[in-house]
Structure 1
Amino acid sequence: MTTIAERRAAFRALHEGGCFVLPNPWDRGSARYLEHLGFAALATTSSGAAWSRGRADGSATRDEALDHLADIVAATRLPVNADFENGYGDGVDEVGVSVALAVETGVAGLSIEDAVGGVPYDLPVAVERLAAARDAIDASGHDVVLVGRAEGFIVGRPDLAEVTERLQAYAAAGADCLYAPGVSDPADIAAVVTAVAPKPVNVLVGGPSPLTLAAAAELGVRRISVGGALARAAWGGFERAAAGLVEGRFDGFAGAAPGADLNALFADPPEADQLG
Structure 2
Amino acid sequence: MTGAVETLRALHLRRPQGDPLILPGPWDAASARALAEAGFEALATPSAGVAAALGYADGETPADEMFAAVARITRAVDVPVTADIEDGYGLAPKELVERLLAAGAVGCNIEDSTGGALKDPREHADYLAEFCAAAAGRILLNARVDTFVHGDGDPERAVERAAEQAVDRAALYIAAGAECVYPIMAPVAVLPLLRSGIEGPLNALALLTPDGPSPAALGELGATRITFGPQLQRRAAASAAELAAGLRQ
2:11 alignment partner, one of 14, 35, 38: 14
Q: Is the radius of gyration larger for structure 1 or structure 2?
A: 1
Q: Aligned runs of 1:99-114 on 2, under 5 Å?
A: 99-114=97-112
**Which string of whole-angstrom CA distances, capped at 9 and with x for unpartnered residues, describes residues 5-56 of structure 1?**
2222211110112211100000000000001111110011111111112211
The Cα shift of 1:220 comes to: 2.7
In structure 1, what residue type is equivalent to 2:46?
A: T
2:143 alignment partner, one of 148, 156, 160: 148
> What number of residue pairs does the alignment pair up?
236
In structure 2, what residue type is equivalent to 1:230?
A: L
| Equivalent residues of 2:195, 2:222 under 8 A apart | yes
Q: Could you tell me how far apart the structure 1 residues matched to 2:241 and 2:231 are?
A: 15
| Equivalent residues of 1:25, 1:45 under 8 A apart | yes
* Alignment root-mean-square deviation, CA: 1.8
Q: Could you tell me how far apart the structure 2 residues matched to 1:52 and 1:200 are?
A: 30
Q: 33-42 vs 166-175, which deviates more?
A: 166-175
Q: Could you tell me how far apart the structure 2 residues matched to 1:53 and 1:63 are?
A: 12
What residue number does 1:27 align with? 28
What residue number does 1:266 align with? none
The Cα shift of 1:184 comes to: 2.7
What residue number does 2:182 align with? 179
Q: TM-score, structure 1 length as denominator?
A: 0.80
SS of alignment partner, residue 112 of structure 1: strand
* Unaligned ranges ≥5, structure 2: 153-158
SS of alignment partner, residue 170 of structure 2: helix
The Cα shift of 1:146 comes to: 0.8
What residue number does 1:223 align with? 225
The Cα shift of 1:62 comes to: 1.8
Q: TM-score, structure 2 length as denominator?
A: 0.88
The Cα shift of 1:243 comes to: 4.2
**Which string of whole-angstrom CA distances, capped at 9 and with x for unpartnered residues, describes residues 110-149 of structure 1?**
11100112111112222122112112211xxx53211111
Identity %: 34
What residue number does 1:163 align with? 166
| Equivalent residues of 1:108, 1:143 under 8 A apart | yes
Structure 1 segments (4+ residues) deviating >6 Å: none
In structure 1, what residue type is equivalent to 2:164?
A: A
SS of alignment partner, residue 226 of structure 2: strand
The Cα shift of 1:66 comes to: 1.5
SS of alignment partner, residue 128 of structure 1: helix
The Cα shift of 1:238 comes to: 2.1
* Unaligned ranges ≥5, structure 1: 250-276
What residue number does 2:50 align with? 49
Q: Could you tell me how far apart the structure 2 residues matched to 1:63 and 1:83 are?
A: 14
What residue number does 1:202 align with? 203
In structure 2, what residue type is equivalent to 1:192?
A: L
Q: Could you tell me how far apart the structure 1 residues matched to 2:85 and 2:54 are?
A: 17
What residue number does 2:123 align with? 125
